[in-house]
A and B are shown apart, each in its own frame.
Chain A
Amino acid sequence: MGRGYIVEESVEKHLANLSTVAGSCLSGLLVGHSSAQRDFVVLAVQTPRRESEGPPEGQRGSNPLDDTDVEWVSMHARQVTRMLPGGVGVLGVFLITPPELAKEAQSTLKRLVLAVDKYMSKTRLWDLSEDDVTDRVTLHICSKTRKAVCKTFDVKDPKCSAKPADWKYQSGISSSWPVVTCSVKLDLDIPVTDMSSENLEKCLKDGLKRWAKQIESGVCLINGRLALDDSELLSGPKKSTRGSQRHTFQIQILVSAEEPEPGQRSSARVQACSGSVCVRGTVHCRAYIHSNKPKARHAAQAIKRDILNTVSSRVEMLLEDLMNEGGPASGQQDLPRRVFAPLPGSGLSVCDYVFPDETPTDVAERLKEILEWDSSVEDIDMRVEGRILLTLGCRKVTQHCSDSL
C-alpha cells in the first residue's frame, strides 16, 4: 500500500511550470509535514543554479544525471530547512528528466534522498526518535508526458528498495494547521578549552548539546496546562477544514539541570580553560502540527525541535560569518534575529535570519533565491524578536523603520 502524500494544489501548478532545457534534468526539494499516517507536502523548491556550474547540462556528451550535484542539493536542503518553522521539513526530493532517463532517475533519486538526510543529521542538535517517520519521498516527473511517479525510501535502511507511494492533490491542506509558539530565554555559559577556531566550535557544539538535552527532557505546558502525552490537542467537534480558524497554542518549557550519572563524582569537574562563550537573549519559536487529531506530544516535540534548530542555526551562521573574517574575536556579537514571512496559499510562515546591518530587502532576496518565492517587503515581519539591542558598555534601544504600531 505504501505511504500517502497529500499535496497542496499550488505545488502541482508550480511543478507544471518548471521547464527544462531539452534533454536536461532538474532537481528540487519537497517540503512539508510528516505524521504517522500520512505526509503533507506544501512546497516544491527547485535547486538553484550553482555559480560554479559549467556549460548547461544538456550540452554535455555524458549522462546529465551523473552530473547531479548531490552535495549542492544537500546544502540547499540545509538552507531551506533553516527557513522553515518547526514541524515543517524537507520530506524528499523531486527530479524532472527526459523520458529516456526515467529508469536511471530512480537510483539518482535514492542517492539524493540518502545524501540529504545524512547531511542534515550532521549538524542537528537532536536525534530522530523511534516514532519519527524515516521514509522520504521521491517524485519523478517525465518532462515530456508530465507523468509523475512517487516512491519512498527508508533512510534508516540504505539498502532498501523503493516502495510505492500515493500522491494526491488537494487544496487548503495547511490552512487549519494549529501553530504552537513560545519565546525562550537563553542563558548559556560554555567553557572553551583553547581558543582555536575548530576547538571553539567543538566546545560550543558540546555546550549546545548539553543545553539541548535539558530542553528535550523539559516539561512542556500547552496553553498553561500540563497535558498528558497522548491527550488530544483539539477537543470538541471537528470543524470543516475549509475556512476554519487556525488554533494557536502558547507553550511554556520548564527545565531541570541534568541528573548526575550513577557512580556520582564527589567533587566538581574542573577543566583548564582559556575562555568561555556566553549565549544570551530571547529567541522566538514557532511550529506547526497537522490538524488530524494531533496529540500533545506532537506539539511538544515540534516546538522543542524548533527551539534547538533556531539556536543552532544562528550560532552556525554567526560562526560561518566570523570564520570568513578570520576567526571569532573577543567581545559581544549579535546573533542574527529571526523574522517571519507568510507563505502564500498555505498560510504558513517561513522565516529567515537577519544580521543587524541587513534590511527587509535582503530577506526578500534570500527568500527568492532559496525558496523561489517573490515576497513583498511589507509582508516581512521584522518585529517578532528583540527590539532591545544591548551592546558592550552602553545600552541601545532601537525601533524598526516600519514603526506602524
Chain B
Amino acid sequence: MLLTDDSTVIFRVRGMLDFSCQLDISNEKRGQSAITRCFEGLRSKISSESLVFLVCNSPVLLWPNKGLQSTVEHLTEETPCRDIHQYITVEDGGSKKASKKKERKDASVVNLKLLMEVTEAGDGSAPSLCVLTRRQHCARMPVSVDCVLSANGFDPLQTVCRGLVGALRRQLLDMEDAVLRHRKGSSLLVPQAFHFPLPTPGNLITVVYPAGVAESQLLSEREVLHRKYGLPSDRPYFRRANAFHFPDEPYRDGYLRNPHAHLTPPSMEDSKLYLVRGIYSYHHYMQDRVDDNGWGCAYRSLQTICSWFQQQGYTERTVPTHTHIQQALVDVGDKESSFVGSRQWIGSIEVQAVLSHLLGITSKILFVSQGSELASKGRELANHFETTGTPVMIGGGVLAHTILGVAWSAVSGQIRFLILDPHYTGGEDLQTITDKGWCGWKGPEFWDQNAYYNLCLPQTPKTI
C-alpha cells in the first residue's frame, strides 16, 4: 500500500488512442520515420485544445490546453485540486464499508478519462475526400495510455492538468521507443504502461513494456531500471506482476487479497510484528468448484503460497489446481500415477517438492517434535518473515495451515501466530472471514501440543 500523508491526491488519467500508420514495406528507414510521425501526431493531439479530461463519476470535464475550461463554473485554474472530490459521487458497494477504516491512510485516487473533442465552434474547412494510391502496409493498434501524477491537495488544478499532459506526452515518447526497439519489419508490438511502487513511499514509477514479450526477454530493461533507482538486484520490482494495484480496482478473479490487513494486531508488551511481505490470495476449501472438504487443506495452503510467488513476480505460472499439484508429484516420482484424481492428503514435504518442480522454488523444512515447541520458534519465524517474507505452510496433527506472520517479543518470548485457515468452506466474505477467525491471530495453544509439525518455509530466488 502506498503510505502517504492525508493531503496527497493521486490523479490517474487513462484513455485509448488510435495508432494507425502506413508502413512502406520496401524501405526500413521510412518505416521507422512513419512510426515516429504517427506518434508525433498522437503527441500533438495530446497538446491540442481538443484534449478533454473527464473526471470519472462526476459531471466535471476539463480542457487542460484551453486555460482549463471546465463544465463546472467553480472549478478554475487556481482551484486547489482536492476540491475535485466534492463533485465525485462515490460508488458504495457493500463490501467497501468494511475496508474504509483501514484505507484511510492511503492517498485518494482521482480517476480521469481521456477524451478528444470532435466538435468545434466556428467555421472549419469544407469537407473533402482524398484518395491516395500507394502500395503499403497499414498497421493499426489501439494504444492504451495510463499516467499518474501525485499532487499535494492544495496544488492548483492547472498545475495538475499541465503535469498530466506532460506525463502523457512523455509516455507516448516511451511508447514510441518501445515500439521501435521491439519492431520486426511490419510487426509492431502494442506498448503497455505499468506503474510500479518503489520502497520510497508515495512514489510510482511508470514503465512501458511491449505486450507479448516474456519477462525473461526484458531482463536487460529491468537491470537498467534497478540501476537507475538504486534498487537491490535480489528481488523483482519491475515485473508486470509487481505493478501497483490501485485500491479502487477490484480483482477480477474473485479471490480475496491480504485479508490479514483488516485485522487489529495483538498488543503485547515489547513485541514487534513480523509479517508476510507483499500480496497473496486466500485459497480455501470448496473454491474453483473443487470439493476438497476434509482433505485439501495442504493443497490450498500451497495454492496461497503459489499465488504469492506469482504476484511478487517470481513466476508467470498461474496458481496450480489440485490436479496440477498431484500430477507434479507423480512427475517427480514421489507418487504413483493413481495419485492423480485421488483425495489423498499431502504434507510439507510434498509442498516443498511441488514448489521446486513447478516454480523452481527451494524451501527449508523446520521440524518440531511437539506442538508445544512452536512457541519457542519465535526468533526463527521472525527472522524468516523479516528476511524472506514468504507465507509458511505448516502441517501436523491432521491439519495444515498457513502462517502469515508472528507477533513476537524478543524480551519475554511471548508469541502470537497470524494464521490463514484453509478449512473455510464459505464464500469470499471478508467480514465473516475476519470476524470468525478464519484469518486471525492465535496463541500458542492453537497447536496440538502433542503432535509433531513440519513447516515448509519457501525461499526466494535472488533474481529481478
Residues on A lying within 8 angstroms of B by beta carbon are 182-186, 189, 191, 195, 200, 215, 218-219, 221, 224-226, 251-260, 264-283, 311, 314-315, 318, 328-335, 337, 385-390
Query: Does B118 lie within 8 Å of A185, measured CB to CB?
Result: yes
A276-B131 Cα distance, complex, nearest whole Å: 6
The proximity string for B residues 139-165 relative to A, scoring 1 for CB distances below 8 Å and 0 otherwise, is 111111000000000000000000000
15 examples of A-B residue contacts, CB within 8 angstroms: A182-B119, A185-B118, A224-B71, A226-B61, A254-B52, A254-B115, A260-B16, A267-B187, A267-B212, A268-B139, A273-B137, A333-B130, A334-B128, A335-B127, A389-B126
Using Cβ atoms and an 8 Å threshold, which residues of chain B touch A191? 20, 22, 138, 140
Q: How large is the interface on B (under 10, 10 to 19, 20 to 34, 35 or more residues)?
A: 35 or more
The proximity string for B residues 48-88 relative to A, scoring 1 for CB distances below 8 Å and 0 otherwise, is 00101010000111000000000100000000000000000
Count of A-B contacts judged by CB separation below 8 Å: 206
Asked if B125 CB lies within 8 Å of chain A CBs, one says: yes
Query: Does B15 lie within 8 Å of A314, measured CB to CB?
Result: no
Query: Does A219 lie within 8 Å of B188, measured CB to CB?
Result: no
Query: Does A184 lie within 8 Å of B118, measured CB to CB?
Result: yes
Query: Does B124 lie within 8 Å of A272, measured CB to CB?
Result: no
Closest approach, in angstroms, between the C-beta of B130 and any C-beta of chain A? 4
Q: A273-B22, A277-B132, A282-B126 provided; 4 other pairs, C-beta below 8 A?
A: A182-B119, A254-B52, A271-B138, A332-B130
Using Cβ atoms and an 8 Å threshold, which residues of chain B touch A387? 123, 126
Residue of A nearest to B123 (CB): A387
Query: Does A283 lie within 8 Å of B211, measured CB to CB?
Result: no
Residue of B nearest to A220 (CB): B119
Residue of A nearest to B58 (CB): A226
A331-B118 Cα distance, complex, nearest whole Å: 25
Asked if B109 CB lies within 8 Å of chain A CBs, one says: no
From A186, A218, A267, A281, B190 is in contact (CB under 8 Å) with: A267
Q: Determine the main DSSP class of A at the interface with B.
A: strand
Residue of A nearest to B192 (CB): A266
The proximity string for B residues 108-129 relative to A, scoring 1 for CB distances below 8 Å and 0 otherwise, is 0000011111111111111111
Query: Does B128 lie within 8 Å of A226, measured CB to CB?
Result: no
Asked if B227 CB lies within 8 Å of chain A CBs, one says: no
Residue of A nearest to B17 (CB): A257
Residue of A nearest to B122 (CB): A183
Using Cβ atoms and an 8 Å threshold, which residues of chain A touch B52? 254
Residue of B nearest to A332 (CB): B130
From B16, B127, B134, B188, A258 is in contact (CB under 8 Å) with: B16
Query: Does B187 lie within 8 Å of A251, measured CB to CB?
Result: no
The proximity string for B residues 181-193 relative to A, scoring 1 for CB distances below 8 Å and 0 otherwise, is 0000011111000
Asked if B99 CB lies within 8 Å of chain A CBs, one says: no
Using Cβ atoms and an 8 Å threshold, which residues of chain A touch B59? 225-226
A382-B156 Cα distance, complex, nearest whole Å: 46
A123-B187 Cα distance, complex, nearest whole Å: 35
Query: Does B16 lie within 8 Å of A279, measured CB to CB?
Result: no
From A183, A215, A258, A274, B133 is in contact (CB under 8 Å) with: A274
Asked if B136 CB lies within 8 Å of chain A CBs, one says: yes
Closest approach, in angstroms, between the C-beta of B137 and any C-beta of chain A? 5
Query: Does A335 lie within 8 Å of B128, measured CB to CB?
Result: yes
Query: Does A226 lie within 8 Å of B140, measured CB to CB?
Result: no
Query: Does B133 lie within 8 Å of A315, measured CB to CB?
Result: no
Asked if B228 CB lies within 8 Å of chain A CBs, one says: no
Residue of B nearest to A391 (CB): B128
Query: Does B118 lie within 8 Å of A268, measured CB to CB?
Result: no
Query: Does A277 lie within 8 Å of B190, measured CB to CB?
Result: no
